[in-house]
Each structure stands twice: as structure tokens, then as C-alpha cells.
Amino acid sequence: MGIVAVPPKLPGTRPEGAQNEGESSARIRQMFSDIAPRYDLLNHLLSLSLDRVWRRRTAAAFDRILRGPHARVLDLCCGTGDLTLALQRRAEKAGNRSAAIFGSDFAHPMLVRASQKSSAPAAKPEVRSRGIEYAEADALQLPFADASFDLVTAAFGFRNLAIYDAGLREMFRLLRPGGEVGILEFAEPTGALFGPLYRFYFRQILPRIGGAVSGRGFAYSYLPASVAKFPAPDDLAAMMTRAGFANVSFKCWTGGTVALHRGQKL
């Protein structure tokens, strides 16, 4: 019988060659800065546009908060702002023009793209809410006051943090009592047939397409490697509970390839 190598689950990301947390962060920041020009195109191409559905579903999951007058929402690791925009659209759809939506990320070129997308004219100017405010900041040390948000989200960003517990602590600090956190992340499907098929695509095909289109092979081999080392949904839920969140739950979508975790600060 063969021995299957199970990658160790780490307390934070460690891209190849990084010796410590500082080096991990610096590499991640550089990597996302480098791929910013092709980031959106590759997201849609490699996921067959399912990424748009996942972000829309994530925004819809927090409808109650997004309907709230003067809701304050922070999308961490916002990248080019696709979830930030989905959250804003959801609030607008509910007729809430007073929601204050913020996005933050530490890769400047990603934020430049996010703000370009956000300043595009609204399809229906009459429902246009106040704009999104973007901040260039590290998710482990954010320039926002304690208890200043009703909702803190992160889509495909949390996995890239150098220290997961510190990321959860920061999210918890930022939430008002009653506020919620939403973490959308990749997961590894466990199905007997779909699991191996998906892993073949994710580990063999995706890095080749991503590397060829972006010209940055490292970023697209880092993606499957980082997902393999990321805590499984149950483990992430346990980490969230340990960080102080209540009512922690998660839902897996698209055959278990992504999971939305949520929790509440009481």
C-alpha cells in the first residue's frame, strides 16, 4: 500500500522560500502586485465565472446586515474589489444608500484596479449609494477603531495571511457586538470521484493556464499548494470559535471546492 503525503496544516501561509512571517507577507504582497493586471481575467477564466456566483452568494448571505441603515462593512484583502462591489450592490438592491462600505488590501496595484472599477458609472445612477472607500493596509494591523464595523468579510484572502489567529483576532476587534464575520475560502473536495478529478485540474491544469496567461507561474502554483495546506472547513470553524466568535457555521458550495464561514461577535 502506498503512503499518501498529507501536507502539514500551518498556522499561517508560508510561500516557498519564506523563512518567517515577515518574509511570507512580503512575498504575498509582491505576488499579488505582480498578477494584478490579469487577476480578474484569470479568476473568471479558471473558475468558469463561478467566482462571480460565489461572491454574490456571500453578499446575499449578509442581507440582514446590508439592509441595516448606516451599516458599516469592511471587505478585507479586497484585491480588485469584486466582493466589495458585490456587497455594495446588495445594499443598493435593498434600497440602502446609507451603508458605508470599505475595502482594504496591502497590494497597491490591486487597490488601483478596485478603485477604477468602483468609480465606473452605476447602471442605475438613481440607486447609487455613497462610494466605496479603499485603504492600503495589512489585514493583521488595520487602521480602524475597535468595534467600528457590523460586517467584516474576506474572500480568498484569509488563506494568504501569515498568521491566521492574528487575522481572526483583528476581525474580532473590528466588529461591534452583534456584528458578523464572513470568510470565503477554497477547500479541497473529498468526494471519491470529484475529489481526484478536481485535484488534477487544480494542481496540474490551473497552474499551467494561470502561469501562461499571467506570466507569473509562481502565483498559480502557490494557489493549489496553499489550499492543500489550509485548514479544512471544520478546523477553520474551530479556530474561529477559539478566537471568540459565536454561532460559527460554514456552508460548502460547488462540490466542496469553496466554503463560506460565518461567525458572530456577541
Decide if residue 107 touches ligand SAM (CB under 6 A). Answer: yes
**3-class SS of residue 247:** strand
Question: Among 14, 58, 73, 79, which residue sits at the site for ligand SAM (rule: CB under 6 A)?
Answer: 79
- Count Cα neighbours of 76 within 13 Å in the Cβ-side half-sphere: 30
Closest approach, Cβ 46 to ligand SAM, in A, equals: 12
Q: Cα separation of 205 and 30, whole Å?
A: 24
Closest approach, Cβ 199 to ligand SAM, in A, equals: 19
| Residue 44 neighbours by CB under 8 Å, 6+ apart | 51, 52
Q: Cα separation of 46 and 35, whole Å?
A: 14
Q: What is the DSSP string of 108-159?
A: HHHHHHHHHHHTSPPSSGGG--SPPEEEE--TTS-SS-TT-EEEEEEES-GG
For ligand SAM, the closer of residues 77 and 174 by Cβ is 77
Question: Among 160, 214, 226, 257, which residue sits at the site for ligand SAM (rule: CB under 6 A)?
Answer: 160
For ligand SAM, the closer of residues 97 and 251 by Cβ is 251
- Contacting range for ligand SAM; rule: CB under 6 A; set: 60-68, 115-123, 152-160, 243-251: 152-160
Residue 104: beta bridge partners?
135
Closest approach, Cβ 5 to ligand SAM, in A, equals: 25
Q: Cα separation of 223 and 159, whole Å?
A: 10
Decide if residue 77 touches ligand SAM (CB under 6 A). Answer: yes
Decide if residue 183 touches ligand SAM (CB under 6 A). Answer: no
For residue 70, is it left (φ>0), alpha (ψ between -120 and 50) or beta?
A: left
Decide if residue 32 touches ligand SAM (CB under 6 A). Answer: yes
Decide: residue 232, CB within 10 A, 0-12 exposed, 13-18 middle, 19+ buried: middle
Decide if residue 157 touches ligand SAM (CB under 6 A). Answer: yes
Closest approach, Cβ 196 to ligand SAM, in A, equals: 24
Decide if residue 227 touches ligand SAM (CB under 6 A). Answer: no
Decide if residue 219 touches ligand SAM (CB under 6 A). Answer: no
Q: Cα separation of 82 and 89, whole Å?
A: 10
Length of the chain in terms of residues written: 266
How many residues at the interface with ligand SAM, by CB under 6 A?
A: 21
Decide if residue 210 touches ligand SAM (CB under 6 A). Answer: no
For ligand SAM, the closer of residues 112 and 127 by Cβ is 112
Positions that interact with ligand SAM (CB under 6 A): 25, 28-29, 32, 77-79, 82-83, 105-107, 110, 138-140, 155-157, 160-161
